[in-house]
Amino acid sequence: MFHRLISNDAPRSRLLAALLIAILLGLAWAPFLFPGVKALSVAAKVLVFVVLVAGFDLLLGYTGIVSFAHTLFFGIGAYGIAIASNTWGPTWTSLAAGFALALMLTLILSLLIGLFSLRVRAIFFAMITLAVAAAFQTLASQLSDFTGGEDGLSFKLPALLLPSTEFSDKPFWGVSLDGRLLCYYVLFVIALFAMLSLLRIVNSPFGRVLQAIRENEFRAEAIGYRVVVYRTLSSVLSALYACVAGAMLALWLRYNGPDTSLSFEIMMDVLLIVVIGGMGTIYGAAIGAVLFLLAQSYLQDVLRLASEASTAVPLLSALLSPDRWLLWLGLLFVLSVYYFPTGVVGRLRLQADARQAEKT
């Protein structure tokens, strides 16, 4: 049953399978295993980025298209929820309407970008998408009456998803059963469904054609596939998943602004996660997101402990200062690329295939 769900795309590596199971169980039980506001927020952010990065990998890893407009659709999803709730009130109907309108706008914009820009090759297309994303961020910052401008929009959710809503007077395993917990599991179910659906897509005949286009688009076109159509469809699907991820982020934060969902730094984080996890592997989105966000969230705390422990060596203590966490994060990224040039998933699969070849 589960094998059919993942569309026969087995991890092929026992270590990779163990990592994926650990991530799945860890995220499923995160509120109980890692109690605390920060830990739960990191887990929720992982769920958001898993969907965002996996959707981007469909475009970059499976189709070979470099786009910087992914945060544009991420922002549309977040603003759809924020504006709808702020305008029509914190009801399920307004959330559904805002999400539907965001998906519709995402579909139209991604289709237009695909039709007008995907005929352009490589770096030129990337520059076009970068310009469109920057223009949208500027627009969101200036339309203060509609988007809240630089200050963004804070909004309310239906009572069922609010922390003040208690479902039980007694905590379960020391955790309050409230609306915040329910909101987390809503995100978890959405992320799980998104990953399974993407696995089905990339392992379908459509996904095989995308990979053929990535390897040699001229050959794919020569044997009869309309490359522009497939590239456009890939761009649209990727954008829709980004929109879903944006809506997830808005639901969790109950706030959205230009720096929250439209920042170019988010696009850079997505690119880093794809490289760390492994391009062309949907599983890489989960592993890369966990590794990167854990490092981003807790590296300062680790450095603080290391700096305090090495006070006897002033130079080492200064080098391990929490203020230098970006330096160490960059170093960790360089090391990960050096030792895992095909990403964590790619490296583990290559090792598994090599062992299998030795046996045969």
Q: So what's the architecture of 2-359 in CATH?
A: Orthogonal Bundle (1.10)
Element housing 112 (H / E): helix 92-117
Q: What is the pLDDT confidence band of residue 7, given thresholds at 50, 70 and 90? A: low
HSE (CB half, 13 Å, CA atoms) of 99?
Answer: 16
Across the range 275-293, mean pLDDT stands at 92
The pLDDT score that the predictor gives to residue 132 is 87
HSE (CB half, 13 Å, CA atoms) of 159?
Answer: 3
pLDDT tens for residues 177-208? 888 999 999 999 999 999 999 999 999 899 89
- 276 close to 333: Cβ distance less than 8 angstroms: yes
Q: Where are the domains of the chain?
A: 2-359
pLDDT tens for residues 315-345? 888 888 888 888 888 888 888 888 888 889 9
Helix (H, G, I), strand (E, B), or coil: what is residue 166? strand
What is the Cα–Cα distance from 120 to 67, expressed in whole angstroms?
A: 12
Q: What is the pLDDT confidence band of residue 348, given thresholds at 50, 70 and 90? A: confident
Most confident by average pLDDT, 30-34, 84-88, 110-114:
84-88
Higher-pLDDT residue of 279 and 120 is 279
* Mean pLDDT value across the chain: 88
- Alpha-carbon Rg of the chain, whole angstroms? 21
Q: What is the pLDDT confidence band of residue 162, given thresholds at 50, 70 and 90? A: confident
